[in-house]
Copies of this chain bind each other. A is one copy, B any other.
């Protein structure tokens, strides 16, 4: 089958996505390292554990998984718009068609989903009850603490408007050089949302936690369940940045965080890629070192130095970095790739642009002549540094096959490479190439 955004999804069966539970989920980069090659996979053990859990325990919507038609996104996650692209369904990966992203705030029902591990009753936009939800703080602290999540509501709340983007967003575009492993996201693994909750630094202050001087990382765990024979999902963040920006988020767009998006409490760090916003937070560990958990290395990392497309790499802490701060980029939302447009008539080109929030977007530039000349587009300045900038430009194209190229430049002088595959990496993370949209004007 071919996905709605043109990605080739023929490599898996979305009806009942066993492969996503089978120890080699789509999108996992095991093949680029030998680290786990020897561990093998005990299929019988997995099937037994799956049977014991039952489909309900895996978070499946109650439906006939043997039905002939693949489920639509509203069947995969209750409450979602039915128009999302279903990449996987058991552990849901849903992509938003660009046309549904053409607003300043992305509504929850169209927001993309990329979960990594199963958890019961999360395939819904309904909130997860916070009653009885405990979060522990451990590691280099004067003494371990346990927090009842309900207490967060009584603390000072802050809100950020921020881009939420899967670091695999745009992965399919790496295929211009060598196809990268994993779910073939096109442009819709992103959204722009309002996130509110309690600053990590405020929580630490309120609880009177004294963090040891040697602690340099915050490692975050969630309550979701590890895949068979896999390490439980977790990520580390640089502690100084976490103390500056991270929130124990409890609301998105003013509502309690839906179960599928990591409620009741998600650790969110504006400017960071989505995977780092650990869902269903259960534990915060203050530690000297970055975790060597499989989900943090080799997964969700990019090489520090340029890699020849197709070349394998064995990641170490020194030759790679975690997918933390988002690269500067823009996405064209309209027209769509391969659209038919009117020749000789004004055509509005629209999109969004963002970076890691550390500096403002200076300009988005558009070229209709293959990069010979570029013109600055109209840019809407958003309310905060981590939000996306909507932009638009009006062009008039002569008849024929044309290319619309768009490039963001931020105030630090960071822009998008003309050929995004220069940042090729085996798992296709952090695509930020110049947008190149082919259209036919007639």
Q: What residues of chain A have their CB less than 8 Å away from a CB belonging to chain B?
A: 305-306, 328, 358-359, 362-363, 365, 371-376, 409, 411-419, 422-423, 432
Known: A409-B415, A412-B417, A414-B413. A422 touches B359 (CB 8 A): yes
Known: A358-B306, A374-B365, A376-B372. A411 touches B417 (CB 8 A): yes
A372's partner among B328, B375, B411 (CB-CB below 8 A) is B375
A423→B412 CA distance, assembly (Å): 7
Across the A-B interface, give the 3 residue pairs with the lowest CB-CB distance, nearest first: A413-B417, A415-B415, A374-B374
> For A374, what are the chain B residues with a Cβ–Cβ distance below 8 Å?
365, 373-375
CB distance A373 to B371 under 8 Å? no
In the complex, the chain B residue whose C-beta lies closest to that of A241 is B305
Chain B nearest CB, measured from A353 CB (Å): 14
Q: How many copies does the complex hold?
A: 2
> For A414, what are the chain B residues with a Cβ–Cβ distance below 8 Å?
413-415
A409→B365 CA distance, assembly (Å): 13
In the complex, the chain B residue whose C-beta lies closest to that of A417 is B413
CB distance A413 to B412 under 8 Å? no
Known: A358-B306, A372-B375, A376-B371. A413 touches B415 (CB 8 A): yes
A376's partner among B305, B363, B373, B409 (CB-CB below 8 A) is B373
> For A413, what are the chain B residues with a Cβ–Cβ distance below 8 Å?
328, 414-418, 422-423, 432
A373's partner among B362, B375, B423 (CB-CB below 8 A) is B375
A418's partner among B306, B411, B422, B423 (CB-CB below 8 A) is B411
Chain B nearest CB, measured from A431 CB (Å): 11
> For A412, what are the chain B residues with a Cβ–Cβ distance below 8 Å?
306, 417, 422-423
> For A359, what are the chain B residues with a Cβ–Cβ distance below 8 Å?
306, 422
In the complex, the chain B residue whose C-beta lies closest to that of A408 is B413
In the complex, the chain B residue whose C-beta lies closest to that of A373 is B375
> For A375, what are the chain B residues with a Cβ–Cβ distance below 8 Å?
372-374
A411's partner among B305, B362, B419, B432 (CB-CB below 8 A) is B419
In the complex, the chain B residue whose C-beta lies closest to that of A370 is B376
* 13 intermolecular pairs with C-beta atoms under 8 Å apart: A306-B358, A306-B412, A359-B422, A362-B418, A365-B374, A372-B376, A373-B373, A409-B418, A411-B418, A413-B415, A413-B418, A413-B432, A414-B415
A414→B376 CA distance, assembly (Å): 18
In the complex, the chain B residue whose C-beta lies closest to that of A216 is B318
> For A306, what are the chain B residues with a Cβ–Cβ distance below 8 Å?
358-359, 412
Chain B nearest CB, measured from A175 CB (Å): 19
A342→B115 CA distance, assembly (Å): 63
A371→B328 CA distance, assembly (Å): 19
Chain B nearest CB, measured from A208 CB (Å): 27
> For A416, what are the chain B residues with a Cβ–Cβ distance below 8 Å?
413
> For A415, what are the chain B residues with a Cβ–Cβ distance below 8 Å?
409, 413-415
Chain B nearest CB, measured from A213 CB (Å): 13
In the complex, the chain B residue whose C-beta lies closest to that of A432 is B413
A268→B156 CA distance, assembly (Å): 55
Interface centre among A371, A413, A416 (most CB of B within 10 A): A413
In the complex, the chain B residue whose C-beta lies closest to that of A409 is B415
> For A411, what are the chain B residues with a Cβ–Cβ distance below 8 Å?
417-419, 422
In the complex, the chain B residue whose C-beta lies closest to that of A365 is B374
Chain B nearest CB, measured from A238 CB (Å): 10
A311→B206 CA distance, assembly (Å): 31
> For A376, what are the chain B residues with a Cβ–Cβ distance below 8 Å?
371-373
Known: A417-B411, A419-B411. A363 touches B371 (CB 8 A): yes
